[in-house]
Structure 1
């Protein structure tokens, strides 16, 4: 009888201990933040360690150690190019948050606005369908492209965010793009000294999604 009671108690006890061991493992599962961008996020003209993405990664290592930051940015990337790469990135990293910093190269090359809007929407929609919270960072282009094209370009980011349910972030180059001392000689890419300013502009919007 004593042996029977011992076995009866041991079963639930072992099951309970197993649950206690598994709960921390589930809670410790690593999450990921995917940055899908162009040269602004690929640290063009400097080492990757100096870029705003790597600076964010260093901050998150302390504030959100359960997150891995994946920088899938490529200099010269367009929304169409990123759209071709995105399904594989989503499948591989299964991100909880996706930051889309794209569109500048589309504008500089004079690509059709309709294509820009469609691609931005699909980038956000695909990410959302994969279970990620999405942040779209708007971009600006020089006024010499004409007032109509410039206006439609600017409006595309808000419209894509609205249609896809993504969050629209602030302009990452705010206070930087118009300061020649913070821009590289090409007038398009920010210097290493400006990277912390870029992160300051968008940090809060990213944190709200983590």
Structure 2
């Protein structure tokens, strides 16, 4: 009996030592996998969800639950970069992203940065008063932002144009939700800055002269360029 028990004990010790040796490797691999997954679903500048992450959030939401899809586009953001530099522009994007994320969380929703100065929010449709929701986001976004600029500070105020639509989670996010919100947002921009519009059945994209040019996400997809 002593020999088999000795062999079993030796095997258990060897197994334990092997596990202790390989565990750091397994831990590193799991960490790398988690990091890769996070990178796939999040925007590297703001830490918000990206487009893929927003799709995942919609997929994981309660089936057939109505949601408010809001597309948020900052007005004249290029002027910030041109005047103050991309470093200030990036800080402003992060600050506005935090505001949008906090507002979405207050509504038990989620938010994402889609590209450049364009954000989106998915909110449970606990109200059909989309005008009030839009006003809340626009008001909070337009609060002045004070950012460090070398030995000094700069205070900026940025407004946003919003397009909103009431959608169902069974709809395809890109085709039904964001696409319709995009149409509504362009209608908002057609009437000036700091405006919002709610998508109505039959609403179509306004004439091309009211567009600001190819969207950042479209240019990125067509050229492979990554635009901050």
Q: TM-score, normalization: structure 2?
A: 0.27
Q: TM-score, normalization: structure 1?
A: 0.29
Q: Please say which structure displays the higher CA radius of gyration.
A: 2
Higher strand proportion? 2
